Amino acid sequence: MIQSLEPSTPEWLAAGFAEQVVQWARQHCDALPADALKRLWLAAHRLSLATSAGHVCLPLHDLLSASRDAAAPERTDSNPPALTLGSLRQSLMDSGTVGTPLHPSACPMVLDDHDRLYLHRYFDYESRLAARLLRAAVPSGDLFNEHDRLLTRQLLHSLLPADDHPHASEAPDGQHVAVALALTRRLTIISGGPGTGKTTTVVSLLACLLAQHPDARIALAAPTGKAAARMTEAIRSRAGHLPHALQARMPTTSSTVHRLLGVRPEGAGFVHHANHRLPIDVLIVDEASMLDLALATHLLEAVPEHARIVLLGDKDQLASVEAGAVFAELSRESISADQSRAALHALLGSAPSASQPELPEHTQSNVQCDISSSPGALNASVVWLNRTYRFNAGSGIGQLAHAVREGSPEALMSAVRRAPSPSSAQADITWISDTASPGATHLWTTLVEGYAPLALALAQAPHDVAAVTHAFNQFRALCAVREGPHGSRSLNQRLSDWIRQQVGAPPASAWFIGQALIVRQNDYLLGLFNGDVGLVLPNQEGELCVWFSQDPQGYRSIAPARLPAHEPAYALTIHTSQGSEFDRVAVILPPLPARTASRELLYTGITRARHSLVLSASEAALSAAVLSPTRRDSGLRDRLSEVAQPGLVPAHNGAAMH
């Protein structure tokens, strides 16, 4: 069966896995009927495809529908026995290839008590991550002594403007609550859109931590190199108001999660793991929505038990490319208003609201959290930042982002119809509705104008890597799809040809000045990772090199011949752009609704723009995207409930997977 499929595709891998599972069943259960083997093959096949699509598990009711559809053409009995959820579950359990949470054995699949079918390793990841999160979320009374509390209160009062402190009659400010939580517990999850103050919150938190513990070992990380570099730059730019002594102690470097953990060659796991932890006291992870289940598990297990963990992200953005939507799942519920006031009262000494009873004396120094068996067991560790500082109330970008996030095509179309025409100057947002051809005048003009600063910088000073890189990063074309006339591949070809013409490069040349490239394969020896973006520019000797940003505010060159797999980077897919921001962005959707154009994809594309946005999309494509929220099947919240009750799920050895 798999011989007719293209190797290494999800379908090919799924078919191969399904055949292996059936062979396993035949070896362990001789008497399985043919229809049971067919159902088992379908279950393994669908489960493998589900994980390839980003799901952690496969709901049994989805498999039930697929099993009924597959069996329908073969029925000859006028009254066949009806396949039910119970009978399907029993059929899978009888195959000898499906374990249970309490008895997973060495079975390739696990079926939980909520009728979710897992690959064994993903159930293991989910259980281990839940256990680590709950250990981190339990409040601890040893984080502060009286001197630390007094010092922290004084510092926070100096950092926060006097008229910005929360009053009893008002809802507490999210930034203040986030700092209070992060200082009084070991796990804080902060979700907010662009411009809501996540970096400002981190700077205030770091200032307090370093004032208390000058020698604290702090690690800053993000899933991609671009996001890690942007995190460092943002912290540096927002720390200028701090006392010079604290500015000097601020961390100056950040890394990708893979670099932090230390990737072993040939996919042999990580240097740091549950039995060899990172030498840190604080971990702050930006763009945490990009963490998949496996990477999140490895990362958190490598953090020492005493260390603080702060996860920053936007729950409404795209989830990771790999299986899981960990950050969105954890951020589904946030801390209550009463808990927020209690947190601030405990830390800042501000008066609680009239409706909030005075805290008992023994709880004054800590935010209290009831780690119960409810799905929202971590909600007392979660803060939503809802106030936007970047976009004012009349901002077109802000209105678009809000309409998409709320799933309202009416509000979205109302905002884009009010946008000026493409020829208008100083437009916050511009809508190009005529998308029949990517060569349409308005869209192509937008792309050429967007990269005109790059062409000018290349003409004036091609040896000035910093100036050319700055010009390049002012604008980016972001595509919803990769293939087709509106996809990143086609637009990259056209833009590459245009840059060649601007710099006078021969059409057949493999390398040319101004060539923008994105790495597509990790190269641990060169220190290049998937997603790193570089520019081809001459060095002092006139030789062409590929220049990559290198913290702090530096660049390094690589010989073009040494580059791992790469492709042009003038037009990126929106997925690839996650973790980046640009002054101006063009978001390009195909004219007809695309399966991959989801609500989260559109929101992520729109919010990559700092100042101006061109939206090239038909009304039908926009409405379809807004009405298509991403679904990621997962059981993490149930794992949290189960792990909180000893005995429901067996203990897992974090080192076993390394």
Digit-coded pLDDT (tens) for 543-583 = 899 999 876 567 888 899 898 899 999 999 998 888 788 99
Identify which has the larger pLDDT, 15 or 268.
15
According to the model, what pLDDT value does residue 353 have? 39
* pLDDT tens digits along 307-343: 999 999 988 888 877 887 888 888 887 666 666 666 6
Indicate whether 36 pLDDT > 90.
no
Indicate whether 253 pLDDT > 50.
yes
Q: Percent of the chain having pLDDT more than 70?
A: 78
Dihedral sign for Cα 47, 128, 253, 603, please. Answer: positive
Indicate whether 650 pLDDT > 60.
no
Indicate whether 176 pLDDT > 80.
no
Identify which has the larger pLDDT, 197 or 601.
601
Indicate whether 20 pLDDT > 60.
yes
Identify which has the larger pLDDT, 338 or 452.
452
Least confident of 262-266, 278-282, 310-314: 262-266
CA dihedral 12, 16, 19, 23 (to 10 degrees): 170
- Compute the radius of gyration of the chain from its Cα atoms: 27
Q: What's the rounded mean pLDDT across residues 431-445?
A: 72
* pLDDT tens digits along 473-485: 999 999 998 888 8
Indicate whether 279 pLDDT > 90.
yes
* pLDDT tens digits along 86-96: 888 888 888 88
Indicate whether 118 pLDDT > 80.
yes
Per the document, the length of the chain is 658
Q: What's the rounded mean pLDDT across residues 635-642?
A: 86
* pLDDT tens digits along 124-174: 999 999 999 988 887 665 555 666 667 777 777 666 544 444 444 455 577
Confidence of residue 362 (pLDDT cuts 50, 70, 90): very low
According to the model, what pLDDT value does residue 4 have? 55
According to the model, what pLDDT value does residue 366 have? 24
Contacts 24+ apart (CB under 8 A), 119-125: 119/47, 119/48, 119/51, 121/294, 121/657, 122/51, 122/56, 122/57, 122/293, 122/294, 122/323, 123/57, 124/652, 124/657, 125/293, 125/294, 125/297, 125/657
Indicate whether 517 pLDDT > 70.
yes
Identify which has the larger pLDDT, 121 or 166.
121
* Helices 146-159, 198-212: crossing angle, 10 deg rounding: 140
* pLDDT tens digits along 60-91: 988 887 776 666 555 555 556 677 888 888 88
Alpha helices in 138-197 (DSSP H): 146-159, 174-184
State the pTM of this model.
0.81
